[in-house]
Amino acid sequence: MKKTSTRLADGRELIYYDQRDDSVRDAVDRRPLDPTVTTSEVRRDPLLGDSIAVASHRQGRIYHPPADECPLCPSQGDRLSEIPDSSYDAVVFENRFPSLAGDSGRCEVVCFTSDHNASFADLDEEQTRLVLDAWTDRTSELSHLPSVEQVFCFENRGAEIGVTLGHPHGQIYAYPFTTPRTALMLRSVAAHKEATGGENLFDAVLERELSDGRVVLEGEHWVAFVPYAAHWPYEVHLYPKRRVPDLLALDEDARTEFPQVYLELLRRFDRIFGEGEPPTPYISAWHQAPFGALEEFEGVNRDDFALHLELFTIRRTSGKLKFLAGSESGMNVFINDVPPEFAAQRLREVASS
């Protein structure tokens, strides 16, 4: 992998990740852009103890542009985009309309391929490995920023999820705090560790899932399963079999096998609802240990956390979506219409389709 960092016309950083070491990236952003101005602010809720970001400047972000005006495609002739070069393998750049910025963190966009009409599932293993390396590199770089406590790599796919740009891409959020979901996990890990005299909760969960019949896909170094208490209609968790706290700690064997397992998982997701159905909307989310202090989670350190990816769809059946209504949105109590055992069986069935 070759990494080339440059600057866009408004001062934002852009990074090319190339498969070839001889790639030259010297194209200049020719757009007449003013310096980026953001109004991001993090506010803490005193009752719930969590934080929200206020980012009014995002109201003006690009919304469903036509394909020939996509800002994530390479620049061609007089059609100038966020990527100055006329081609690329993978690229990461600072979001022009970030939810988090400055002392409140950082937001980046990850373009998985220059092919506007592709999806992540269309990538080959070499390109997927390049994206994995880009996620890992950005996690490393962002973790060293003084304002960053946790790094979150994710992909929103599909208009039903709220995606406003059709080009295959994901995002990276670098938070100035430990996110509420991660904090819940760490509290559970701490309580289990104390109650069992030192047993790791993630290890116990993985051991249970390997024997309970909800495994969807298993390799030598990775295992994918539908969790016992799945929140979403079709939800799969992908774990490396050797517990590590973050992407940086994956060994070469796990990195090599990841593209095979992940691509197969994404392709099965697109076959859940049968032939002729539109692509399955999904969220794919990496969970990594925070880089900040963990004193509030007594007895827990970073190595107690288990890196994993959670992949889920809001489509519950053909033509119908799972909405977060009163119980989910009002009380954070999910009601799942699809039994996890059925979801696991369906995802195993579509393997040979």
Query: C-alpha angle 174/159/142, rounded to 5°?
Result: 10
The dihedrals phi and psi of 187, each to the nearest 5 degrees, come to -65, -40
Helices (H), the chain: 125-143, 180-196, 201-211, 252-269, 331, 340-349
The dihedrals phi and psi of 89, each to the nearest 5 degrees, come to -90, -65
Separation between Cα atoms, residue 153 and residue 248, nearest integer Å: 13
Mind giving me the DSSP string for 234-261? EEEEEEESS--SSGGG--HHHHHHHHHH
Quote the distance between the C-alpha of residue 108 and its chain's center: 12
Mind giving me the DSSP string for 320-337? EE----IIIIIH-----S
Residue 222's nearest CA partner among 242, 205, 207 is: 242
Q: Would you call 284 helix, strand, or coil by DSSP?
A: strand
Which residues partner with 311 through β-bridges?
236, 284
Residue 72's nearest CA partner among 171, 174, 173, 175 is: 171
Cβ-count burial of 244 within 10 angstroms (0-12 exposed, 13-18 middle, 19+ buried)? buried
Separation between Cα atoms, residue 240 and residue 186, nearest integer Å: 18
Separation between Cα atoms, residue 66 and residue 53, nearest integer Å: 29
Contact 70, 167 (CB under 8 A): yes
Contact 252, 136 (CB under 8 A): no
Catalytic residue among 64, 116, 144, 169: 169
Quote the distance between the C-alpha of residue 123 and its chain's center: 16
167 part of the active site: no
Q: Which are the catalytic amino acids?
A: 169
